[in-house]
Amino acid sequence: MDFKELTLIIPAKDEEYSLPKVLNEILRLNCKKTIVLDASDKKTIHSIKNYNCKIIKQKKPGYGNAIIEGVNATNTKYLCIFNADGSFDPKNLKTMLKIAIIKKSYIFGSRYISGGGSNDDSLLTFIGNKIFTFIKCALFRLNLSDILFTYIMGETNKFKKLNLRNSDFRICVEIPIKIKVNNFQYTSFPSFERKRLGGLKKVNEFIDGSLILLELIKNFFTAYEK
Ligand SMILES: Nc1nc2c(ncn2[C@@H]2O[C@H](COP(=O)(O)OP(=O)(O)OP(=O)(O)O)[C@@H](O)[C@H]2O)c(=O)[nH]1
Ligand SMILES: [Mg+2]
């Protein structure tokens, strides 16, 4: 198995306290690393000037656009969405890649299966994550235990075929629904969510939570496939 065939897409906005530590941790991994930076963010780019990574300044704002632009710029066979805040444990990457290759499937890191967990969940996010995952899996018959973690690895050409459109955090629900609609294989892998290393979270539980819920309902009626 060759890490050279993997690109980590690292979306980052105001992560000057976390991203250098994240890069230190993954420095020795022989995969490509593409940082997709919010265009207004000057501090993060300064904080990583000594690291040799590909940096893309996103053209359109929002987390979703960062993922879309990162996917479009990737030319390795596999890619993985990898947060810049330290919450994703890189020790999972090797096994995730192995499974992606053997099963030809997308891998979803999951906090809520045996072997996974979280240091970062509050009671609110724990309950919210459970409810959203339940609603989504019931509505779309998806067999996933954690839809909002977004530690997702898969084949780059299959990501490109999803034709992702959401500019913000709603892309977290668009990805698995479209994987299901396209009949692509997917599976879960236990992962432990660590606390962010520094800086502030960008997700607002109420605003983004409501948007995600509305997106789920909208998709139930319009479904991307119809
Ligand atoms: N390029 C880019 N990255 C973003 C944007 N919004 C969020 N991110 C990054 O996306 C990742 C996920 O955002 P977080 O703020 O960690 O969201 P979260 O995991 O719900 O929040 P925490 O619980 O604090 O970790 C982080 O690496 C952010 O820096 C954006 O608009 N543009
Ligand atoms: Mg985070």
pLDDT tens for each residue of 34-67: 999 999 999 999 999 999 889 999 999 999 999 9
Give 183 Cα–ligand 1 centroid separation in angstroms. 28
Tell me what the mean pLDDT of segment 126-133 comes to.
Answer: 85
Q: Hey, which of 85, 175, 204 would you mutate to test ligand 1's pocket, going by the most ligand atoms within 8 Å of its Cβ?
A: 85
pLDDT tens for each residue of 20-35: 999 999 999 999 999 9
Closest CA to 84 of 30, 140, 45: 45
Question: Cβ distance 69 to 133 under 8 Å?
Answer: no
Closest CA to 150 of 58, 217, 78, 84: 84
Question: Cβ distance 201 to 180 under 8 Å?
Answer: no
- Residue 104: its pLDDT value, please? 94
Give the pLDDT band (50/70/90) at residue 193: very high
* Any ligand 1 atom below 6 A from CB of 20: no
Tell me what the mean pLDDT of segment 104-133 comes to.
Answer: 89
Number of alpha carbons in the 13 Å side-chain half-sphere of residue 116: 19
C-alpha to C-alpha distance for 60 and 19, rounded to whole angstroms: 21
Choose between 214 and 90: higher pLDDT. 90
User: Which residue's CA lies nearest to atom 21 of ligand 1?
Assistant: 201
What burial class does residue 163 get, using C-beta atoms within 10 Å of its C-beta: 0-12 exposed, 13-18 middle, 19+ buried?
Answer: exposed
Give 68 Cα–ligand 1 centroid separation in angstroms. 14
The three-state secondary structure class of 83 is coil
Q: Which ligand has an atom closest to residue 83 CA?
A: 1
Q: Which ligand has an atom closest to residue 19 CA?
A: 1
Give the pLDDT band (50/70/90) at residue 1: low
Give the pLDDT band (50/70/90) at residue 215: confident
CB atoms within 10 A of CB 138: 10
Tell me what the mean pLDDT of segment 219-226 comes to.
Answer: 65
Closest-lying ligand 1 atom to the alpha carbon of residue 14: 29
pLDDT at 225 over 60: no
CA distances to 167, 193, 204 from 73, rounded to whole Å, are 16, 27, 28
Closest CA to 194 of 132, 117, 125: 117
Give the pLDDT band (50/70/90) at residue 213: confident
Give the pLDDT band (50/70/90) at residue 226: very low
Question: Cβ distance 184 to 158 under 8 Å?
Answer: yes
